Each structure stands twice: as structure tokens, then as C-alpha cells.
Structure 1
Amino acid sequence: MNEDVQSGLTRLRDLHDKVNEADRVAAVKALYGRLRSAPLLVYLCADDDPICDAAIIAADLSDEEWIDVLPQLSTRGQEAVKMRPDLRPLASKMLNIHALDGDEPSEPLLFVEDAENDNLVEKHLEPKTEEASQISALVAKIADYQKKRSTDIPLRDLEHRSYFVDAINAINFETDDSGTIIWAEGPPKGAIVGVTIAEPTFDDGPGPDAYGAAAFRQRMPLENARMRLCGAPVVAGDWRMSAIPYFGEETGRFKGYRGVMRRPNAAEDAGHNDLDVERREQLQQLIHELRTPLNAIIGFSEIIEQQLFGPASFEYRSLSRTITDEARRLLAGFEDIDIAAKIDAGQMESLSGLTEPDWLLERLAQRLQSLTDSKSVDLRINKAEPVRSFALDSESVERIFARLLSAAIIACENGEELRADLRTQIGGQPVNYFSLSRPSRIKGISEEQLLDPSRGIDGDSSDAPLLGLGFSLRLVRNLAKSANGSLTISDDSIGLTLPAAATSEIGLRETEIE
């Protein structure tokens, strides 16, 4: 027995009194089908009867290993082995030969198969190998320890608290190319190593939701997929899993996933029944399945348009450009649905950070240029200096502004001018306020009508947002709300408020805007 195994078993012995029997049983049950260590099995069978029974059920040993380990098991363990329906003939015959009265044989025995008579034959051997002797010695120490231990030992050393009673809120993990978790940091290894993320969970077993399993099949990154773990209370229950695939540096071959699991927050758990959860999971899976072929279509269309594989006629290139634009429009719509579902589930969280207004305006100009050119819209944004940084991460800020301005540009007539102002309102909680003039085609329409998800825009249907103007505006409003901001609609303008940095280097030049 190597030093790591010896050290691990000794550690288990030291922690024995700090973990109650129910938790020990749950931890062993979590190893079902994955308990392949003979020394660990011998140790567990020396514990109380429920732990011994659970260990025998969880064990996965070969016939030869059973024959080797049976003489080392307690009487209870040997009796429990008899109840296993999958016990192979050699091990069964050995149990029939080996006396279960607790007496040790006077000298070691080896049971070998007599091929001619289809039976087991006893052979006397030299004393047991060093490994077997160490196992026996350890079992004897454990038995003696359990007889002599005091029932009122204080928990003096907090650094040696059992893993099974500590709270765990995050688990780092790594899988192999089949999706089986081969490494974990955080929980007891036996509670998660061996669990797969490749197959969706059934009944009460461990596994991911359909979205997570679909992402694995297509080697796509997954974000906040639901994952269920079983076993010890410290890990049992629902988790949220985010992970990315990794590939061999030299061969480029897929090797598995690396990621993290976390406990769902209150917003993700509260107020949503099982039916809602199932529908959101189905929606996420559908979106994921639709994105993949659309990305492939975009890729092939760009190949034709750019003539990467050879010359193509003008008609083919024009058609491929149209296909690319429509596919990207569909992708944008799917992304909006995905974001709306995440907001509804409480999974959309804006991250803290700082976003410079100049960077944002430059990014928006690049992102919206093709749209403003196609509509001949003159978008003018006046930045009323000084403007503080947004107190949000750049991705969240850009997402909110891009969706608002895209919907507004589409609602403009060709050749229309769209004006906007960006300024900082100083106060106890400073905010950046963005005021946008109403496009001509939505002037005189009430806020209730504008925010109606079924609301469209009169005109060319190819210009309209895939999911309607009402859906787009409601999405922007919910995104702003999730970032501690707001969206307001007046007769002449649309106002967007987002938190600004609490301090600024501009200092005395700032004046309060009423």
C-alpha cells in the first residue's frame, strides 16, 4: 500500500468522530459503482454496520480483487458480500470455503481454481505480502482505536474539520473527453469524480440539464447550465455550471471541459416552479441547437461572398450576402430571447467595473455603422462634459446601448436625424443619463403600446426587429433594471439611466444638474 493511500486512511480514522453516522453513510453511498480501492473497502467495513453495508454495495472490484480482499473483511462485510447479485463464481466459492466465525486461519491461504474439477483449491503460502500485512495492521489499529476512543473528544483543531460538514459554494472541475469528471477542487473527491456532464440527468441521479448535455455534444461553451449532484449533503442538490472545452496544444484534439459549479442564488431558486424551470431549459436547448447551423450557414455564405474557394458570379455573391444578413438577424433574435430568459430566471447579472464614455461611443459607432448607412440615418450623440465613467462592466453597457439604438434606428424613416444627449447627474448616487429623441414612426404612441411585445413597426418588414419593437424596448428596460438603472418614455424622448462612478478626477468642473 503506497504512502498516499496509507495517509488517506489515517486521515479518515482521525476524522471519524467528527462526522456523524448519517453523513458517513451518505458519503459512502455517493461512491456507488466507483469504490475501487481495496484498502478503503477494508477500512469502511471495519466501521459501523450501515457504513459497512453501504461500502459493499458501492464496491466495484474484479473477481481477483474480491478473492484477495475477502479474508481481510469483517464478518459483517463478508455476510454483506454474499448478498451481492453480481458476485462472480470464484469469489462465491471462496466465501463458501472461508469460515465466517471470526477465527483467522493459522497461516495464510491462497484459493486457486482447479480447471479440471471447476473448483477452488486451498494452498498454504508464505506470510502475506507487505501490502496485505499493512492492510491487516491498519484494520487492527482502527478496531483498537474504535474500542478505546472517548465519546466526548472536543473539536480542538478547526483546521482538521471534516469536509463533510463544511459549506461548499463552488466546485472547480475538469473532465476527460467523454465528459466524466476526473478532477475536482472543493468537495470530497469521491462525491463528484466519476460523475458525467455528457448525459442529461434522469430521475434522481446526478447529471446536467438538456442544455448542458447538448453543449457538451457540440463542444460548445456552456453558461449557467443546471447540474444536479447526489450523495453527501454538502454537495447534494442543484448547482449552476459554467465551463469551456479545452484541446491538446500539439494535436488540437478535444480533451474535455474545465469549469466551475456554484450554488444557485436566491433569485435563481425563488419564485419559479418546476414547470417554468423545465420550459426555460427547453428554450435554452432549442436556442443552442439553432445557433449551431446558423453559424455554419454564415460561414459558408461568407466563403462564397469572399470567393475564398474560387470565383463566384455576382448573383451568387449577392444571394450569399443576403443569406448572411438574414442569418445574423436570426442570431440576434435568438440572443435576445436567451437574454430575456436569463433575466426572467434571475441569471443575468451585471458585473462591477468602469466603462469610459468615449470608448462606448466609439464602439457604438463601429457596431451601428452598417445599420445607419442602410437607413441613411444621421445619429448624433452630444456628450455634455464632464461625463463620468459608467459603474458597470463594458459588455453590459454596450449590450444595453446597442439594443436601444438599433431599435431606434430601425424605427426611423430613411434619411431621418436621430439626436441624443449623454450627461452625468451628480448626487448621492450619481448616474449617467442618456436622452434619445423619438423616431418619427413611433411618435404619438403611448408607452403602454410601445412596450407591448406584439408591437411591430410599419414599413419594410426586413428592417424591423425580429421579435418586434415592443420586445426590444422591454428587453432594454429589463437589462437596465438588472443593472440598477431604468428606462423611461416621454412624449418626445426615451430616457436611459445607468449608475455612474462614485468619484471623478474632474473635480471642480462638475456642476450639479437639476
Structure 2
Amino acid sequence: MIATILRQTPADRRARIAAWRQLSDILAQRGNQLADEDVRRALHALAVLRPEVPEKVRRDCARALARHGRFAPLVALYANDVPAVSVAMMREARLSEEDWLAVLPATNPMARSLLAGRADLPESVQRALAALGSASVALPQPPAASEEASEDPAPSQISELVRRIDKFQSSRGQPLGTAPAPPRLRAKEREGFLFETGPDGVIHWVEGIARGAIVGLSIAEAAFGGEPGVDGVAAGAFRQRAEMINARLILEGGAEDAGEWRFSAVPWFEPATGQFRGYRGSARRPRSNETPYRGATGDAAGDSIRQLIHELRSPLNAISGFAQIISGQMFGPVSQSYRRMAHTIVADAAAVQAIIDDLETAARSSADPPAETGAGEAETDIATIVTKVESDLGGLLDDQQVSVSIARIGGPFVARTSDADARRMVGRLVTALVDVSEPGAAVVGQLVTDHEHDDMLQLRIVRPAAIRSATAAELLDPGYSPEGEAPGAAILSLGFSLRLVDSLARAAGGRLDIGHNALTLHLRSANPAKAEKDASQGD
């Protein structure tokens, strides 16, 4: 039957539509029973016919075949069509668990995003989708979006982009059958809009918002300092002609349009030439859980850091999850070299996650100045923390052939800070200096108390040779990396590490001093001897 259809050259539009429907129907019903060569030829014919078959016909075929077809290659073919066709197939397609796992790598992010909203897929498929990061594409549907695709290709792709992601977003985090809570909006605030840019990234068409608020704005360059424009996520994606997912947008204008938005957009290309033509997408107001710190305090810098932290976690978890899938060979055998690479990515992701936790702690603590008294404050033995850090770094010390020797002078060494914060500060400081030490070197320091002259505990560590001549400004430069820096330091530069330690220390009422010969971490003392001295002076 397939051979008969393929021998006939469709002479007109009606014949091409008939051939499309016949080949699709045969593959849907009997694809698993056909010879591989027949399947290959049929799929090739469909790919050749697709530009000549109207989108409405392809969409209707997808709807008719979705529930009855069980042939994975055909599902993948329809899934990678324009959004209207992809939506019609992926909403209802029924495949086995093995077929879904085989199809996923062959689908685009738009199709995977729609699958992420289906509750009837096997758990392993949901895990694979989550690892691929497709779920984060979804946006709620603006009221102005049309339910049916238009024959005009420009609004059709935008409307379908919004419609395909609506199902997932409306059900995300909600029990089956429960409507999502409406977003909290300010008075007269618009809910969403559609837009299109030219190849230069400048927005030239919008629907659902005042043109003056956004037309002429560029998504190709990041805006800073609260100026209208997009964030670095969007600007970076534009340079790569990549999909933009939940990027941040700030607008000025009237009360209905001004403020913060979230948008997703996909690049589109001229079908005949493949020339890049711009982006098409949709925007919405951020949900309350996406801006958990908005308006909570007047600390704009702290809010920016916390927002950055919030936006880093999702892609980091996706990268780590996908690497774990590779290292665990969940999709099948993987070469040893790729598994080693995946193990490295997982380890690096864990290290970055720890850094994010440190940043979050510093941002949170900076909004709450330390109390002047010790009432209700945590107290930690820093000597014990130093011992724990030395033990935790055992593997790194062995790998880099570096030793750590920190003497105790005086005592006790009780500081007014929590155990977790103390481990972060001491651990980051020691790790940063181990990273820049040469093989065979020793990181030498002292933990000191001086009750007579200072109410601070001091952890002094001698500068390693690689940074002995560096100025304080250089050491605190986030991009500073001395020549010969160890590979392990690539995750977090020395300058960034030292700034982080200083930020954490200041949030706890201490500081990090950069001296000519040593770096000194000061922490507020909670030693009993100091308390007795203060009491005697009060008498």
C-alpha cells in the first residue's frame, strides 16, 4: 500500500493532502508491522509533503490520529511540526513507557513542555522531562490569546505557544480537578500580552498592552539599574538564538503596564531560506512564589541577590538531574568517558549549590543586623569548627598535596554565630587558600583569643606564596585568579570567595581583614571569660 502511494507523484494540492492523510493513517495503524525501509520512505515522504499541506489539515490529522496511533516515529514527526499541530498530537498521544523515553530526545522544547502538563504519563517519563528542564517553559494564557490557531502564521505561532503551555501551568502544583488560585494583581494591572521582535531583537508588534510601553524595547541587550528592559538570561539566549524561558522584563508607563513581567519566547526563521527573523513570545505578571522577597524590605541590593539565587536554582537542578541520568545510564548504556564527565558535572553542581546556599545566607542575614547583646543568639565553638573543616577537606588536601596547620592560642574559642554560618565562613576561607597553594605547601594559621585587648576571636591564615604580593583590592576582585590557581578553584574564584566570607562575617557582626602577611577572620566573642570581665566592669 505504501509503495503504491509513493509511486504516485501528487499533481495538485488535493492529491498532496490525500497522500498526507493516507500515509499518516497507515503509519498510525500499522507502522509497527511495516518493514523498516517502508517506514523510512513513508516518513521521508511526509517530511517532503509537509510544507505543501495546509496547517489546518495537518492539525486535523493530528487530532484524529493522536488517541488511536501507537507509532512513536509518527508521533515525533507531528510533535516537531508548528505549535498548532504539535499541541494537537501531544495532548492526546498514547505511547508505551519505552516509546516515550525514546521519543523525548527527538522532540523540541515546545512539545516537551506540553507533555510536562499531562498527569497520565509514567513516572519515569515525568522524571526524564524534569531532567530535561522542559517544565519551566510554561506560562499562563493571557485572556487575549485565541483558542484556535489563525491562518496567519505570525499570530498562529504566538497563540499556540500560549495555548500549549496553559494546561501545564494551570495544573502545576494543584490537585487534579482543582482550579489554580488567581494571581495577586495590583489595581488595573494587565495580566499578559503577546509580542514579536525583528532580527535585531527590537519589539515591533504587541497585543494586549499599550504599544508605547514596549514597542522599540530590545530583548538583545540586558538592562541594569532598574532601567526598562530584559535581564541577562534573555540577552544571552538572543545571542545564541536559543529559547527564552521565564526571563525577566521591566516596563515603564501607566499603572496597567509598568512593573515586572516574566516572558518566554522562541526564535523563528524564514521557512524558505532558514534566515533568522526574530522572536515570538508571551509575557505575564510574575507569580507570588517567583518574587518571594518583592516589597518585603527596602534592601534593593539584597532583594536582587535573592532574586538571582531564586532564578539560579531551577537550571542548576536541571543540569544536575540530567547528569545523574547519564551517569546512572537510565536511558541505556553510556561510555565510560561520558559517565566520568557526568560525575564531574554532578559534583560541580553540588559545589555550586553550596555556594548558592552561602549567598542566600549572606543576603538573608544582611537584612537583619546582629543584635548588640547576646540574648537569644547562637554560640559556636570555632575550634571545633576548624577541626571539622580540616576533616571535611581531607580529600581535597590529598588531591592537591597540601597540608593545613592551624594552632590554637588562648581559648576558649566560642563565637556569637550559628554552627552552619561558622562552617561556611571557615570552610570557604580555608578552601580558597588551599586552592591557590602549590603542591607540597602548607596552609598555616592561628586561632587566637585576646580577652584583654579585643572582644573578637581571630582566625589568622598566612597568605600562600601565589598571592603574597597581591593587593587587597586584587584579592577582593570577584574575577581575580592568581597564576597557577588549582583546577578546583575554577568553580568559585578566589576574589569571590573572599568577598563572600567577608559578607557572611559582617552579617554576623565580624569582618575579614586583608593584611600584608595574613588574612584574618574576626568573629564576635562569646567566651565566658569576656562575659565575666564585662560584668565586673559593670559593677
Q: TM-score normalized by structure 1?
A: 0.43
Bigger radius of gyration among the two:
1
Q: TM-score normalized by structure 2?
A: 0.41
Query: Of Structure 1 and Structure 2, which has the larger fraction of its residues in helix?
Result: 2
